[in-house]
Amino acid sequence: MTVSTLPLNDGNQVPWIAFGTGTALFRKDAEDAIRLALDNGFTHLDGAQVYGNEDTLGNGIAASGKSRSELFITTKLGKLQPGATPKSALQESLRQIKVDYVDLYLVHQANNHVGKLKEIWKGMEEAQKAGLTKSIGVSNFTADHLKTILEIATIPPAVNQVEAHPYVWQALQPNLAIHDQYKIVTSSYGGLSPLFRGKGGPLDPVIEQIRARLEKTRGAPVSDSQVLNKWLQQKGVLVVTTSSKAERIREYLDTQNVPELTAEEIALIDTTGGKLHKRYFVSLEFDNDSRSSAHIAFQPGNWPSE
């Protein structure tokens, strides 16, 4: 199956769904999981320096026998060591992954670079100009973070990866306005959280109602996960997900073959999701609360596999 793509603002294309190596694979050997994902149709792999498994991500790619040209590889800049730059950090990632370039390189966390965001973004542009990455972007950036780097950017971010699902969609509106203005693709992690982490919320009956309608229209099974992933896909969101099960991996990829949600169904998910603000990955920048600003995704053992 050919995975459909989304256009980036730099002229490149990105597969609309990616297999993530954080969450359940955080600081774990990812080789078998990567092979499973590639064998079952994923072409976009989403890694990060902080996940601590770029070497086994590379091992999985090598073991799969897939050619580099078939794949789209994302990694993310972690906290820089003294004397390091985004470019030198990426060179180390390339050595770990055992490839000559990545397709997308993201600044993982703005709060890793307090007071230095403009300098960091210039370093990201240098990494792209050196041919080490085809596209550059950010992750977990608020509207204010985006405005800071856009003041000096000669290359705007192509992607901003954030927690995105119906229970935070309303809170993301300031971000989404800037994304629309600069044609920045919104990428989601935790997109299935209302199903896996938020059972009993107001969306449950809505998802079931839409799932039943889609299944009837399709004449074949449709899952709750496919309903939410379809909602994200129709909003032009790049979905990052993961699973240890081959059948679940194939189900996620099959989302693009599920009939489209109607405008009314999308609006119903939007309005119902807006009744509950619930973030499952703690982030001080978005919630302005007193909890730790450490991104919970960096702590192992917090997620079921999506």
State the pLDDT confidence band at 291, using cuts at 50, 70 and 90: very low
Q: Does an H or E element contain 209, and which?
A: helix 203-218
**118/25: higher pLDDT:** 118
Q: Note whether 297 and 47 are within 8 A (CB).
A: no
Q: What does the alpha-carbon distance between residue 54 and residue 29 come to, in Å, rounded to a whole number?
A: 9
The string of pLDDT tens digits covering residues 185-194 is 999 999 999 9
Q: What does the alpha-carbon distance between residue 155 and residue 37 come to, in Å, rounded to a whole number?
A: 32
Mean pLDDT to the nearest integer, 137-144? 97
Name the pTM for this structure: 0.92
108 is in an annotated binding site: yes
* pLDDT of res. 94: 98
State percent of the chain over pLDDT 70. 92
* pLDDT of res. 281: 87
* pLDDT of res. 35: 97
Catalytic residue numbers read 51
* pLDDT of res. 27: 83
* pLDDT of res. 292: 29
Domains, the chain, ordered by start: 5-298 (3.20.20.100)
Question: In residues, how long is the chain?
Answer: 306
Q: Is the pLDDT of residue 236 over 70?
A: yes
* pLDDT of res. 178: 98
Q: Note whether 282 and 291 are within 8 A (CB).
A: yes
Q: Is the pLDDT of residue 289 over 80?
A: no
State the pLDDT confidence band at 288, using cuts at 50, 70 and 90: very low
Q: Is the pLDDT of residue 305 over 50?
A: no
Q: Note whether 162 and 139 are within 8 A (CB).
A: yes
The string of pLDDT tens digits covering residues 197-217 is 999 999 999 999 999 999 999
Torsion, Cα 41 46 52 58, to 10 degrees, reads 50
Question: Encoding tokens for residue 99?
Answer: 């490839």
Q: Is the pLDDT of residue 301 over 60?
A: no
* pLDDT of res. 1: 73
Question: Encoding tokens for residue 197?
Answer: 């982490």
The string of pLDDT tens digits covering residues 255-275 is 999 999 999 999 999 999 999
Q: Is the pLDDT of residue 299 over 60?
A: no
Q: Note whether 24 and 303 are within 8 A (CB).
A: yes
